[in-house]
Structure 1
Amino acid sequence: MDTRNFLPSEPLSIWAKVSHFWQKSLLPLLANLRLAIVLLLVIALASIAGTVIEQGQSPGFYQANYPEEPALFGFLTWKVLLALGLDQVYQTWWYLALLVLFGASLIACTFTRQLPALKAAKHWSYYDQPRQFQKLALGVELPSPVPAQEPPFESLRTLLEQKNYRVFQEGDRLYGRKGIAGRIGPIIVHASMILILLGGILGALTGFIAQEFIPSGMTFQVQNVVQAGPWAHPSQDWAMKVNRFWIDYTPEGEIDQFYSDMSVLDPQGEEVKRQTIHVNQPLKYGGVTFYQADWTIAAIRFRLNNSPVLQLPMAQLDTGGKGRLWGTWIPTTPDLSAGISLIARDLQGTLLLYNPEGEFLATLRPGMGYEVNGVNLAIAEIVGSTGLQIKSDPGIPLFYAGFAFLMAGVIMSYVSHSQIWALRVEETLYIGGRTNRAQIAFEKEVLEILGQGVCQNLREDR
């Protein structure tokens, strides 16, 4: 029984309309070179804006730096900036939409142009009409150097193979080609750009940036996230410990380098990795990278007479941009009615003591003591804090792979795809060829082949 008449025809009709719209309208639009160029320019302009405009700052920062009067360029105020998402360009929906649209354009161009061109280049075809040679950029017509009943092109075939051509022959017809990598190169370039776009999208959606100041000896997990994608997961099932933080100084007293000895701890508190990091030498674990970015003085540890070691936090003072100073106030009486101020400028150990009237009292270093208000103050240690920038970007491997493929594709794209045809009709030999680049070098190569092979056989035959 034929059931075709009982099947509904409407879904097939709708599918046919969708397929027709995709193939005839949407796909050619996406593969349009002008659209790709416009998208690339818009993405470049948005990226420039994201580089020039400070990203991830507080609204107060933008109000102070992008006021309404006078507006930057006459229109860019903090309200416009925040409304357009220019404070977080790389996480905005419109920037990600541009990346997706540009990636779709690359994919459409690859499938509609590059892959068909590669398929055509891999398929060999013979010329069997003399008029076909008239369309080639380079073509010659010579008397056949061998009798018509003998196999032609022996010397020509040998010379082409010596020039790395892949030669196909069928009777009185010959076809040779080389440089197929030149056709594959653009496809690899497109694929690499798609990988880079995917890396950017993945990083924007799932990556995060955090900043932490951790004192020596403290264990922590990432909490102070300053920028994160909507699908980011900063929390980990492991923790970090700063075993020690220290600074190396030059003989002149300037900072040479600062270091953090860090450990990765599993949920049971066992160490699974340990590394000393410094500037340009980060620690990487679990897809998260810890960079040594800054430092500060966290606290001062001291004794009063025979007391246990006490600890007080130190705060950074406002010096008006004239260096960095940290200070704290140490009470010297149980009721906190009297005390001294302690100032530090670095971790080298030199501390300055001042009384409540601001008068300088003494200079102390760890291990030294000073009597004030009938109490002996002994400095035990200056506790430093390491400033860490913590970053997770799952798109980085795609970035690296994309750039590696991009370099390979660009190099391959410079390879010339050259083709040579030959046809013998009765007593006449037709030879011609074409290439997609390096036309002059190709012409020299063909003339060299003719001079060494066909023309030489012609002279010997005469």
Structure 2
Amino acid sequence: MLRIKQRASGLWRLLTSMSLGITLLLLAIVFAIAGTYNPQVFASPWFLLLSGLLTLNIVCTTGVRIRRLIGRDTTVPRVFNSQKDHRLISLGQCSPERVTSEAVGELKRLGFAVNLKEFEQGRLITGKKRAWVKFASPLLHLAVVLLVIGSVIGSMWGLKGHYQIEVPGQADLTKDGFPFDLRVNEFNIEYYEDGTPRQYTSSLAIIKGEEVEDTRNIAVNRPLKQQGVKVYQSTYGYNLEGSIKRGDETATFKVEEGDLIFLGGPAHLAMEVQWPRYLVYSQGIPFSMGIAELNEPLNILNMEVTFNERIPFTGLEVKSDPGLPLIWLSFIIGLLGLTLRLYVKPQTIWLLQGQREGNIELRLASGQRVKEQQHAEYIAQRLGGIFREECSFKV
């Protein structure tokens, strides 16, 4: 039993160690960099295991820290162990209750929340302002946990797809796990005066089952948002349909404009079309060029190439990331924790009241910030004035 407890204690120390957390975080950064080149990394067992261990480490260390923060102090603050870190105020034959009452009153007038505790060394009077700021570090830890969990959820259950849909046409997104299908009704391009595209938009119908649930227009930087799914307008282009006739044989083709159409033959011909211009290559070397028209045959050596139709398509990027709300929440919590940690500081003043040879002694200490030191100086002066008449007061 003792050996089990020792092993469990050792495992707990390992899980809550900062060195383990830093090591796991560095490894996670390496995996994340690799994932930018290969997204499959984020769904690999190694990355999921690493994310789980990092989350467990952060949760455990955060729990330990919160437990310390909300736990009760059982010892006098260490600031009283060194004479240079606090000042000693010696009072004469004063009433201990009067001293406590006046000290508490001055702290409250300065806006401090006051707490009293009895220790062997004496009565500890603690004044605190903005004590809740101590939870800034746990908030930062929680933000990292939510970020890791959100990323893992997104990598495991997120969906992503690129669809080129002819206009008019339909994409069956439900086959890929999305909650609805899309039908493209129209596609429009707006141009600048010089003829370059300014904006392109698609009119989409959201289809649930056999019914049209809604109709939306999307454009670049104006995506469709529906049921946790985002649909972005990403590309557009044209598909070319036609035929290649060689003797008595005829073959059809359908390619995206700009792709190569392999004509074959002894010269190994390939055609590239940027409508209405075309360029023919022979073994990668330009062979001929010209202008194409629909349904007008092009005679190229012993072949006849005909373009029957030029069909526009719209390119849509469809994404679903169920972990995204957690990631946004982690950014908000992290920003809050970082703001508290950097710009809001708690203020604490301690007075340790004791007795020595029948006289009252007050040990006064504060944090290292200027405001707290000013408050401590003010309290020392106030207490000196209050007890001057009935006590022999000195600092």
Q: TM-score, normalised to structure 1's length?
A: 0.65
Matches within 5 A, 1:169-180: 169=116, 173=123, 174-180=125-131
Which residue of 2 is the match for residue 421 of structure 1? 351
Distance 1:36 1:324 in 2: 56
1:446 aligns with 2:376: yes
1:274 aligns with 2:215: yes
Higher strand share goes to which structure?
2
Distance 1:237 1:20 in 2: 52
Distance 1:399 1:146, change over 3 A: farther
Which residue of 1 is the match for residue 324 of structure 2? 396
Which residue of 1 is the match for residue 206 of structure 2? 264
Contact 1:313–1:328 under 8 Å retained in 2: no
Task: Report how far residue 277 of structure 1 moved.
Answer: 1.1
1:219 aligns with 2:170: yes
Identity of aligned residues (%): 21
Which residue of 2 is the match for residue 21 of structure 1? 7
Matches within 5 A, 1:134-283: 134-135=81-82, 138-144=85-91, 147-148=94-95, 151-169=98-116, 173=123, 174-222=125-173, 234-269=176-211, 271-283=212-224
Residue 287 of structure 1, aligned match among 225, 228, 231 = 228
Which residue of 2 is the match for residue 226 of structure 1? none
Task: Report how far residue 97 of structure 1 moved.
Answer: 1.3
Task: Report how far residue 292 of structure 1 moved.
Answer: 0.9
Distance 1:193 1:136, change over 3 A: farther
Residue 46 of structure 2 aligns with an amino acid whose one-letter code is W
Distance 2:103 2:23 in 1: 48
Distance 1:31 1:434 in 2: 31
| Structure 2: unaligned runs, 5 residues or longer | 242-252, 261-271, 279-289, 301-306
Residue 32 of structure 1 aligns with an amino acid whose one-letter code is S
Distance 1:41 1:136, change over 3 A: farther
Distance 1:158 1:273, change over 3 A: farther
Distance 2:273 2:324 in 1: 36
Q: How many residues align?
A: 345
SS of corresponding position for 1:205: helix
Distance 1:29 1:110 in 2: 14
1:325 aligns with 2:266: no
SS of corresponding position for 1:151: helix
Task: Report how far residue 125 of structure 1 moved.
Answer: 6.1
Distance 1:20 1:43 in 2: 30
| Structure 1: unaligned runs, 5 residues or longer | 1-12, 57-87, 224-232, 301-311, 330-340, 344-350, 359-376
Contact 2:79–2:85 under 8 Å retained in 1: no
Task: Report how far residue 455 of structure 1 moved.
Answer: 3.3
Superposition CA RMSD, Å: 3.7
Task: Report how far residue 352 of structure 1 moved.
Answer: 8.4
Distance 1:29 1:154, change over 3 A: same
Residue 363 of structure 2, aligned match among 431, 446, 453 = 431
